Structure 1
């Protein structure tokens, strides 16, 4: 466990040198779990660091976790000193990459791996893997920016026979037979392994096959018995340093596993830059080029023979591209392609996946920059393999023409209209009709129309006696390519029209006309009559048609009226047949009325909903039906809330627009100034109950809500006062008394324009002392005299006003 923590802390040390470039996308537990799994899988620290950065881990997060595990790393280091590995090893043989520190490399060397360019590479990789390659991208450039394609070396693979050993590699030597032993031998920086009872043996630079032969020879001196067998395998592998130079996103020196290949080095460097070459990646070793890699061979052919294994000190060089050529149009993969010097147009087509199905294959056009201006070259299909492309060429593959060599078409009243092939067995009108399985019963056989295309692509119309051709009385007509035969239906030649029905039926609408359609038939088709339908008044409106008329008629329509019973005509012409475009109106019965409900709430004996008996029922009648008011009711404070009709809503919308213009949109929005669907009607219920049917006894309408409150012995003071307040009602006291309870007027008060809002919704201007005007539950409002509103005061007023109408009225008063 301590050893695991030590490795974990070391990995966090490497990660901690990176600057945060993204919001954290992983929790602490996810980071720790990922590092544990990666270490157990044998991944090297470089790979773990890159994958954590790509997943969104940040510097702050990793540094904090690193500090938590540094103590565990220290314990592990001391424990490792005390627990030296014996010569005989029975531990895990999972292959791991030796850390750079084990080879004498400093933390600064590891930290140098994480340059700003590397972080930009990772950010670029994150964006590229989410975006598909488009026509303006270079083919293959995104191969090193894929989420699932990392080219990470497989540490669990069998040891390659040509693997070259170096300082830091570990060899596992197994002896069995007459003797039994397992040794782990690490190659020192000088290239030796030290074997007990044998001494140092030089192995650096040897392949694993050569090292196996040398070790068997040396160990044969101490395990000389013929029954002994010796096997040498590779254990933990070393870390090598590779320079990735040239046109990559993040050039620099990278610490990689000794099993790493060129592709993996390109991946950790972020891939090639916008001017880098994918076709000529070079590997230099000891001053000479040992490999040239063409990425297109891997992408298009799956060949990786040139993806060689790297060695310590190798230089991966990415030069600039030689040629970039774009191909567009009708190919399977139109985009930019990197070309080697001397490659042809046929090779480019192969890279692009070949022609698409609708491509014109006889020739392609090439737009070329010749150093002075542009030129266009047309390349025939016979010259594609010999036409050599140049840098900057734009190749266009056109589409085939939207024309047919042998198309025939039949439309109209046949069983199978559509396209047919002009051939030796199908080249006349009769053969085409027979191929379409003949005429429908509704076909108009008096005349058909043949549309023919001339050589100049204009059309002409030829009349066809289709009945005579089919009967053999008229000669058959020969067809040509692109002919279109149209055989009309009798329905196409006459306007059958529709009929409509509206009013009190269940499914009003328009219906297709049919011969002998009666009024009763249409009513049944429309779902029958509603409960509200009038049985004595169903009207039918008909157009006047006279195709032979030569003057304007005086009458422009005919109207018929009918009475119905059980859906049948009982008053009017029975069996009345409709004509095309007739309109039927089923009237509403004048005696039909749905319930109109009102509500009474508060201090009445039987509150709730009541249906109006008459359209002129009044307040007093509603209170009487509700059993009268209770002894706690404050009748003078009763108010009526009413649902606004369309006209009232329009008027309130006009007022709101006016106020918004005056006070500004921001203040209006802050106040929540909008049109409400309900408003308060100022009533005097006390007077209405005292004199039923009088002017104060308001006529009710649907949706009205009468609210009878309890007695309220307070008075509110609001507006331009020092401290808005609610005080107890004192009988006989005037407005001055209540204003004093709110600290008196503020500096901007309009003293002469005070008004009172009563509980019942009525508003009155204060006259004189207002002693007789003050009532329990009322509100005294003092407007502000400045046109620039006191925001707090207006909001306070707005929240206490009884309705939108009173609020708008007070705002208008303040603006004077």
Structure 2
């Protein structure tokens, strides 16, 4: 519910003050409610009333608003009147005393009200630059919202702080005499101590003002105040500070007059104005003008690069900050740490400019830099060497680019392949030949192919050439050593690089048939162990190895490989050997690369196979197939035979999930019939009860299921569903029997043959295919018109021919 009284209006105007004041009222209410007296206000002490009044004034509310808030907290009009009278009495007694003595000795310092605040959204669009565009160095300093340069109110008052109107000075007197004064500097620059003449302090430092005030207090009755040994001390502090107005002109983002704290600095004022305009303003020539005289020139680079705040002086009232136009700006890009647009002052060189950018990047080309400079009519290219950078000065509009070093080496040679430490090496004294390079790489590996090595060398025209040599003879000193050149790359081949990858294959009755990397001295038992050992049905005494024929011969061999047969026991021990070629012994037999090992399966080993039978049998379920000759009748007999309700014409036999169309009704009487098939793994037999329905599907008027009637034939069931539709293919109608068999309709001349209907059957009448070639009426008219035209033309030709003599 929305409240329209004055308090709610006040809350909407100043929520923070009202919330604070409500807490004060609640605190006071709690103190009073703890008392058991008729009047809530009478139970408050003078200190509590003064604290209540001080906090209410600090909240910024008027007296009428304070009264409304008090009534909302349960205070009556009588309580409010008593509170007002007590506060008036306390104010009068305080004014009749000596000075402005109060009990509050707090040293809290707050910023003055009405200070200017920066509105980021009001900054011109020119400060929102494209992120891909080169930035002006230093512009981001004043775009950071967390860097406002606001003064810290908790620091001690600077001794050189200049006192001015609206400052508040607090004096604490302690010792033999005790008093407290809060003195506000008047617009005339004076402070008024009770019973003393006005003291002029404006324009003095806080230290000078303190000496003047203490001196005047001694004259006013505080003898020995501040004198050592007198027992009376005085402490003068600046509690509340004033605001000052400064003006920013020139090339700033938002020029104007700003109200800041008297403790504010030049950077604080520049931040409020958005800083120098990045497009036109100078970041290095910012003048602080006081009394028409430049008192300080700020170079922001000193602060950005070295955190030097000597130029960040405290401002005074009516100071003017002027940002000049930039003089010389240059673009520095390429391989430097901080690419940006930099401002250069007279006397600064390219070496100074590189310092602004953080110096060269790690992969910078340092021998020279490239400069694009504007002339009166066009541009020109300058190259400044590293020695000239310290003496050459940039000019306005220079665009400087620092390149990147080349991706090449001045003294590198490489070695790769079958050496102990391949890699890059320095071409230097002591490493100038191939032998020295191989030695530095800690020699050749044992698999090095020493008959040939090659060097890829870069020719003067950047083409490459290949140099081949006998590395073995070179290392033995039989041929001269080969001098190396820069960028040479030596490759030493391995014997493995010059042959196929060696492997052996094992398959058959092992747990993990696989292709395995060949290693020397590998036996058949080793390979079987790597393949996970024998399977349960393996025949260890029949392990066969097939080997390639490597020996070349003049003629053509009749055989294409060699075979070896082994007997291996379950403990992977070799037994006798039988080969079709001479061989020493089984124990000495070792595999060679590309051998294929086969482990055969035992003849009589076979995993259990099972079939499923369910439906109208005595013991439906899963049955293991006892032998290879077991048939359907045998499985039914093992299941206890048929139940009386079994309907064998509808029995279904499935293999691999598909129905095998067969008539099983006679297999129990004559197991020799063809339908009595042999059972295989996962076969399924389903023997249903007799079904009492017949299904009719397809191109009939009312596809449905009807009850079976013994005296009904095929056409009678069609009539039960309303007959054929117009697009029915009557001659193609067929029937599906419950055992999966099918039978179709037949017709010879005028004689129709319909299949027999059995219980549980399904009659299917196919639809005629859609006629996509039938012509539309428009096409027919077009063809008839064409025929008529052709006929008229032909008649006219015949008439003309008949008239000729």
CA–CA distance in structure 2, aligned partners of residues 390 and 197 of structure 1: 68
Deviation at 1:98, TM superposition (A): 3.0
1:353-502 superposed matches below 5 A? 353-370=358-375, 373-385=378-390, 386-391=392-397, 393-400=399-406, 402-405=408-411, 407-446=412-451, 448-462=453-467, 467=472, 471=476, 474-495=479-500, 497-502=502-507
CA–CA distance in structure 2, aligned partners of residues 707 and 119 of structure 1: 88
Contact 2:546 2:564 in 1 (8 A): no
Contact 2:507 2:597 in 1 (8 A): yes
Q: Find the partner of 1:95 among 109, 117, 121.
A: 109
Give 2:264's aligned residue.
260
Contact 1:331 1:397 in 2 (8 A): no
CA–CA distance in structure 1, aligned partners of residues 410 and 382 of structure 2: 28
Give 1:213's aligned residue.
211
2:349 corresponds to 1:336:
no
Q: Find the partner of 1:229 among 222, 230, 233.
A: 233
Distance 1:280 1:437, change over 3 A: closer
Give 2:279's aligned residue.
275
The alignment partner of 1:279 has SS state of strand
Distance 1:468 1:642, change over 3 A: closer
Q: Find the partner of 1:348 among 347, 350, 353.
A: 353
Contact 2:172 2:180 in 1 (8 A): yes
Aligned pair count reads 635
Contact 2:282 2:327 in 1 (8 A): no
Deviation at 1:502, TM superposition (A): 4.6
The alignment partner of 1:155 has SS state of coil
Contact 1:337 1:348 in 2 (8 A): no
CA–CA distance in structure 1, aligned partners of residues 259 and 631 of structure 2: 95
CA–CA distance in structure 2, aligned partners of residues 179 and 403 of structure 1: 86
The alignment partner of 1:235 has SS state of strand
Distance 1:697 1:263, change over 3 A: farther
Deviation at 1:277, TM superposition (A): 4.3
The alignment partner of 2:342 has SS state of strand
TM-superposition CA deviations, 1:510-564 (whole Å, max 9, x none) = 4333444443332223333344656577665555657798x9x798953747465
CA–CA distance in structure 2, aligned partners of residues 369 and 638 of structure 1: 102
1:271-310 superposed matches below 5 A? 275=279, 277=281, 279-280=283-284, 282=286, 288=292, 290-310=295-315
CA–CA distance in structure 1, aligned partners of residues 287 and 661 of structure 2: 98
1:167-182 superposed matches below 5 A? 167-182=165-180
Most deviating of 342-351 and 141-150? 141-150
Give 1:804's aligned residue.
none
TM-superposition CA deviations, 1:170-222 (whole Å, max 9, x none) = 22212234322232223345544332222544434433223223322332322
Deviation at 1:364, TM superposition (A): 1.0
TM-superposition CA deviations, 1:127-172 (whole Å, max 9, x none) = x9xxxx9884444433344576453422211211222334443222
Contact 2:246 2:259 in 1 (8 A): yes
The alignment partner of 1:220 has SS state of helix
Distance 1:536 1:143, change over 3 A: farther
CA–CA distance in structure 1, aligned partners of residues 546 and 576 of structure 2: 19
The alignment partner of 1:384 has SS state of coil
Most deviating of 577-586 and 230-239? 577-586
Contact 2:289 2:321 in 1 (8 A): no
CA–CA distance in structure 2, aligned partners of residues 508 and 323 of structure 1: 80
CA–CA distance in structure 1, aligned partners of residues 615 and 243 of structure 2: 88
Distance 1:72 1:569, change over 3 A: farther
The alignment partner of 1:195 has SS state of coil
Deviation at 1:303, TM superposition (A): 0.9
CA–CA distance in structure 1, aligned partners of residues 275 and 650 of structure 2: 82
Deviation at 1:233, TM superposition (A): 1.6
CA–CA distance in structure 2, aligned partners of residues 192 and 399 of structure 1: 71
1:675-694 superposed matches below 5 A? none
Contact 1:536 1:563 in 2 (8 A): yes
CA–CA distance in structure 2, aligned partners of residues 622 and 223 of structure 1: 132
Contact 2:344 2:353 in 1 (8 A): no
Distance 1:615 1:267, change over 3 A: farther
TM-superposition CA deviations, 1:211-255 (whole Å, max 9, x none) = 223322332322441253333222133345556677767777665
Contact 1:379 1:387 in 2 (8 A): no
Give 2:182's aligned residue.
184
1:117-132 superposed matches below 5 A? 117=122
Deviation at 1:72, TM superposition (A): 9.0
Contact 1:603 1:629 in 2 (8 A): yes
TM-score, normalised by the number of residues in structure 2: 0.59
Contact 1:121 1:250 in 2 (8 A): no
Most deviating of 189-198 and 301-310? 189-198
Distance 1:493 1:681, change over 3 A: closer
CA–CA distance in structure 2, aligned partners of residues 403 and 691 of structure 1: 97
Distance 1:638 1:155, change over 3 A: farther
CA–CA distance in structure 1, aligned partners of residues 207 and 186 of structure 2: 19
TM-superposition CA deviations, 1:66-114 (whole Å, max 9, x none) = 99xx9899859999997689624444323222333xx9xxxxx88xx65
Distance 1:542 1:469, change over 3 A: closer
TM-score, normalised by the number of residues in structure 1: 0.58
2:165 corresponds to 1:161:
no
Contact 2:631 2:679 in 1 (8 A): yes
Give 2:525's aligned residue.
520
Contact 2:289 2:296 in 1 (8 A): no
CA–CA distance in structure 2, aligned partners of residues 115 and 73 of structure 1: 40
Contact 1:364 1:398 in 2 (8 A): no
Give 1:565's aligned residue.
568
Contact 1:506 1:529 in 2 (8 A): yes
Deviation at 1:363, TM superposition (A): 0.8
Contact 2:620 2:639 in 1 (8 A): yes
What is the root-mean-square deviation of aligned Cα atoms in Å? 6.5
CA–CA distance in structure 1, aligned partners of residues 369 and 628 of structure 2: 85
Give 1:511's aligned residue.
516
TM-superposition CA deviations, 1:417-461 (whole Å, max 9, x none) = 434444444434444444344444444455554555444444555
Deviation at 1:306, TM superposition (A): 1.7
The alignment partner of 2:533 has SS state of coil
TM-superposition CA deviations, 1:590-632 (whole Å, max 9, x none) = 876667799999999999998887999999999999999999x
1:727-742 superposed matches below 5 A? none
Most deviating of 601-610 and 239-248? 601-610
CA–CA distance in structure 2, aligned partners of residues 115 and 154 of structure 1: 22
Deviation at 1:370, TM superposition (A): 4.7
CA–CA distance in structure 1, aligned partners of residues 250 and 262 of structure 2: 22
